[in-house]
Structures are given as C-alpha cells and as structure tokens.
Amino acid sequence: MTDFTGRTILVTGASGGIGGATVRHLVAQGADVIASGRNMDGLDTLAAETGARPLPFDLTSEESIKGALEGLDLWGVVNCGGWGGEIAGPVETNIDVFDKVMSINARGSLLVTKYAAASMIRLCKGGAIVNVSSQASLVALTGHISYGSSKAALDNITRVSALELGKYNIRVNSVNPTVVMTEMSAFYWGLPEIEKPFLEAMPLGRWATVDDIAGPITFLLSDEASMISGVSLPIDGGYTAR
C-alpha cells in the first residue's frame, strides 16, 4: 500500500462522490487531506468521518482561491471540483452556461494549480497534481459542447503544467472517467434511450463507481507513478478505445 504520511494533499470537489471517495482513499493511506467543496454540510460530515480538514472556497473567484491557498504547505492536489452545466449542442447552447462551465472546470482548476504549485515549488519537495477530466474531452458526446470543451481545456492545462513544472519534480496528470451513475447524472444518463446504446458501445458494459475513479487518482499521486506525467488516463471501460 502507498504511504502518503507527511504529505498534505488538497482535494477540491470533496463534497461530491468522486472527491469524497478520493479523500477516503488518501486518508486511509496516511495523507493529511485538505477537503474543499461547495457543500459545507457535506464537508463537515466528511471531516468528521475521515479527519480531513475542511477548507471551502469559490472556484470562480481568484481572490477566494488565492486567499485560501496562499501560505498552505501542499505536496499534492486533486482538482475534482466541477460543474456539468447543461445538455445542449452548439446551436441551442446557452452561452452563459458555457462561460460558467469553463469558469469552474477549466479556469478554476488552473487557478488552484497556479497557487498550489507556488506552494509546492517553495517547499522544494516535488509533488503531484491530478486533474479530474472526462471521457467527454477525448470523444464527442451528444449534448456535451460546454462540458466537453471545458474538460478538453483541462487536459491541455494538464499537459502544459506537466511540461512547465517537471523541473521542480512536480508531476501533473489527468484522469478521464466515464459516467459515475449518481443522482445528478441519472437525469440524463439514466434515460433508457441514452443508457442502453451507450453501455452497449462500452466494452466493459457498466457505469463506473466512485472507487473505480479514486483508485487511479491515488495511484497517479503516489511514488509508484513517479515516472508518469502529462498523461490523460481514460477510466471508461474501454469506451474511447472504439
């Protein structure tokens, strides 16, 4: 088992399913976890369960992110905070929704990386960043013009950050999950006319669980992945291999 003892790792989106599972995985392996999210009640519950330290901030505000992260001694980051936006194509998309999705998923993750990486560079101990992207950045999905675009931007942020931060021994990777069937995603992906053909096209033929995603995130943070940087790892049951 990987040992993160002595390493402080920030997880954004920790009040959500994947973020919460990631916090649990990291705490179980000795990490000092700082958990950020929009749902303070959810953060408090997670903190009581795991011992993680709650730190709420607004991913749409550089001032909020800077104020929260400046002065923290961080070794690692999981950028899991995000918003799904709407199901819409390029003709019917609401551009205000597009702007908000980009602001949270791409701009927010970049700002967290900006201020977290400054801390990691200052400490001179290396580190690792994992961005939670999506299969929607790797293949075109109907109705995902905003969400897919934001995650494609996040994948590029991953690659450029890996290029720029490698000299400080900081690795940067992304994971690109398929759908985790939660209450939030069920409104669309749970529709029979959507779910059936999608799963039929997926070699493994099932939705992911939060632990299916948290496990690879933990691996990419760990020393076992010490030579992996700049990759976008599909966790999609083989869907994007078609």
Please pick, among 115, 147, 188, 239, the residue that the annotation labels catalytic: 147
> Is the pTM above the cut of 0.75?
yes
pLDDT at position 229 is 98
Average pLDDT value for residue range 186-202: 94
Binned at pLDDT 50, 70 and 90, residue 182 comes out as: confident
| Domains in the chain with CATH codes | 8-229 (3.40.50.720)
Q: Are the beta carbons of 34 and 14 closer than 8 angstroms?
A: no
DSSP codes, 79-134:
E--------B-TTT--HHHHHHHIIIIIIIHHHHHHHHHHHHHHHTS-EEEEEE--
Q: Kindly give the residue spans of alpha helices, DSSP state H, lying in the chain.
A: 17-28, 40-50, 62-69, 95-101, 109-123, 145-165, 183-189, 192-201, 210-221
Q: What is the mean pLDDT of the chain?
A: 96
- For 23-78, write each residue's pLDDT tens digit: 999 999 999 999 999 889 999 999 999 999 999 999 999 999 999 999 999 999 99
Residue 147 bears catalytic tag: yes
Binned at pLDDT 50, 70 and 90, residue 184 comes out as: confident
Q: Are the beta carbons of 143 and 90 closer than 8 angstroms?
A: no
- For 92-151, write each residue's pLDDT tens digit: 999 999 999 999 999 999 999 999 999 999 999 999 999 999 999 999 999 999 999 999
pLDDT at position 1 is 56
